[in-house]
Amino acid sequence: MQGDSTEITLRFSSIMLADESLSLQPVNGDSLVLTVYNPGYLLSSQREERRQAFRCFPNPVQDGRLNLTAPYPMQEARIYNMLGREVYRLRSPGTRNWAFRLPGGWPPAYYLLPVYSEGGRVNKQLLFIP
């Protein structure tokens, strides 16, 4: 390969499938274009910035304490029960590390936690154990 990459086109034709009685049935062909890059070639002159993935711990939640870490500043967290009802909403101070305490009195169950940040929304499933 002389350059940084090359394109390879794969064409599929004369495809036959066997049905339940082993009779051959023709299938329409298609094509696929693959780009193969030269090993060691840099695709960008900019360094790739690796961000830490969203984390939610401890999970299962005990004693109502919950810690969130995200690659972008968080704006809001909501908690829904498995029936889709919102049971809690909390506004974030706009940080990437957030620790808070959930109110007590919830039954032990799974809950859905969507967290909204500048980078979008992340959904996590929480197991709440009082």
Neighbouring C-beta atoms of residue 1, cutoff 10 Å:
10
Q: What is the pTM of this model?
A: 0.59
pLDDT digit string, tens, across residues 33-43: 878 777 666 55
Q: Does the domain at residues 55-129 carry the CATH identifier 3.40.1410.10? A: no
Paired tokens of 1: 């390969």
Q: Map out the domains of the chain as residue ranges.
A: 5-37, 55-129
What are the pLDDT digits (tens) for 14-66?
A: 888 787 888 888 877 777 887 877 766 655 555 555 557 899 999 999 888 99
